[in-house]
Structure 1
Amino acid sequence: MSTPPSTFPIKRQRLFDQVAQHLEAMILSGEVGVGDPLPSERELMERFGVGRPAVREALLWLNKKGLISVSAGERARVVEPDPSELLEHLSGAALLFASTPRGMQQFQQTRLFTEVALAREACRWTSADDLKRLEQLLRDNEASAGNMETFARTDDAFHFGIASLAHNPLIDALYRSVLSVLQNQRYTSLQHHDALHAAIDCHTRIFDAIAARDPDRAEQVMRTHLTNVESFYWDVRGKPARHPPDAAADASQAAEKPRKKTN
């Protein structure tokens, strides 16, 4: 008895999917530029040979993807991409992923890689005005040490201040997204008895390294700081942090013997 041939089902595309794909190709090719209106609904119906419902569903889908804006009584227009919107639709899935130990560890690792690079590059990018703004964020954070909620908020502001030195809206959006996902880590790690002192000490040394245009020192202190934060988080959670041996040792030493604050 012969074996029946394998089957490969063909997915049937809905009409609005096909219309949306054609319109997206028009936008991405530059046929319709940023700020330009798309053809009217009637023109699109005639062009694609479909009814109004298919056209409207396609426009709503493109609007959801952030490619066009749709307003009642007006023709849809191609919009300038907003980096924050590019990442917004990932937030729900990211929070779910970070709710598992493995997901949290991978987000922590992503933050470490990102911020270490940002601290290093900040030594090249930073202007005198940038340094003044960053120093004020540092002082605000130091002054809030008596209020944990305010300290967490100003801690975020200091780190975001470093990320913003790149003057890159996509980096800003990516960093805000990562910080949002790691909100639980922030408050949990600060419950550790060494966390506050270690954070203030490292923040000061990070700022000093950036001000001195010392990329190696900025990278090393930022790595130590974020390794500390991760270690404190898992210690409070009652689980070991998973770091390479040298990073773990560096974090342990920094936590046990934090340097004195420098002016």
Structure 2
Amino acid sequence: MGRFERVSSQRIYQQIVDQITRMVQEGTLRPGDRLPPERQLAEEFGVSRSAVREALSALRMLGLVEARVGEGTFVTQPPDERFISPLALVLTIEQSEAVGRELLELRAALEAESAALAAVRREAEDLAAMEEALGDMERDLQEGRLGAEADWRFHDAVASASGNSLLLQTMRSLSDTMKEALGLYREQLLRIPGMGRTLLQDHLEILEAIRNQDAAAARERMLKHITRVQEHLYG
């Protein structure tokens, strides 16, 4: 095909999404056009096939492509802009302080209560999942990585420990948005000297309260953590 530019970045798949989106907007790719197979796309972009898969998944969420069994992936009609997908929401956070603030407000509402419920209802396997996530977060910090995936796994484990299936379902319905937002937040926050260790300590204190079955402390510490993030990002 030869139309795609090679990309390199920590967030490779987003660059692929941006490039294909731009090609659709400019008319280089039109509704009904079939994209090359994953292997060919990976070669043209100069990335791994897993990065291509992530990008295609995101493009499907945006409504820009559709997969047809046995045929391939095809460009669709651009979706109505009033309907914002999780990825579309994430892509506005970098430009919109209001959207970033609202997402953190939503997290505070969901996760403070999630932590309180987790303190009452957590099981041994829940604590093990939280401890594993924080171990990975600390390792990422030591090795200079963002640790966004480990961060999300900790918060997901807290939601799971809450024992509230609707709360967990709500959190997981936002998982793509949350994971990407955590990456954006941590990318900015870790530029502040010592902030990586501070954020890790916040999580350790939340875990301690949940382990001790102290619902009030768990709620307070989760809220304190999210408020800290908001204050440093938006003042």
Q: TM-score, normalised by structure 1?
A: 0.51
Shift of 1:71: 6.3
Match of 2:152 among 145, 149, 156: 156
| Separation (CA, whole Å) in 2 of partners of 1:115 and 1:148 | 27
Shift of 1:212: 0.8
| Separation (CA, whole Å) in 2 of partners of 1:154 and 1:190 | 15
Structure 1 gap ranges (5+): 1-63, 73-87, 235-240, 242-263
**Higher relative contact order, chain-length normalized (CA < 8 Å, sep 6+):** 2
SS of residue paired to 1:213: coil
Match of 1:94 among 77, 89, 94: 89
> Is the aligned partner of 1:139 residue 2:135?
yes
SS of residue paired to 1:149: coil
Which residue of structure 1 aligns with residue 206 of structure 2? 206
If you compute each CA radius of gyration, which structure gives the higher value, 1 or 2?
Answer: 1
Matching of residues 163-174 of structure 1 within 5 Å: 163-165=159-161, 166=163, 168-174=168-174
| Separation (CA, whole Å) in 1 of partners of 2:112 and 2:196 | 20
Structure 2 gap ranges (5+): 1-62, 71-82
| Separation (CA, whole Å) in 2 of partners of 1:199 and 1:161 | 17
| Separation (CA, whole Å) in 2 of partners of 1:137 and 1:163 | 14
Shift of 1:180: 2.3
Which residue of structure 2 aligns with residue 186 of structure 1? 186
Which residue of structure 1 aligns with residue 177 of structure 2? 177
Tell me the C-alpha RMSD between the 2 structures. Answer: 2.7
Query: Does the 8 Å contact 1:138/1:203 carry over to 2?
Result: yes
Q: Which amino acid aligns with 1:115?
A: E
| Separation (CA, whole Å) in 2 of partners of 1:174 and 1:151 | 19
| Separation (CA, whole Å) in 1 of partners of 2:111 and 2:175 | 9
Distance 1:103 1:89, change over 3 A: closer
| Percent identity of paired positions between Structure 1 and Structure 2 | 22
> Is the aligned partner of 1:113 residue 2:109?
yes
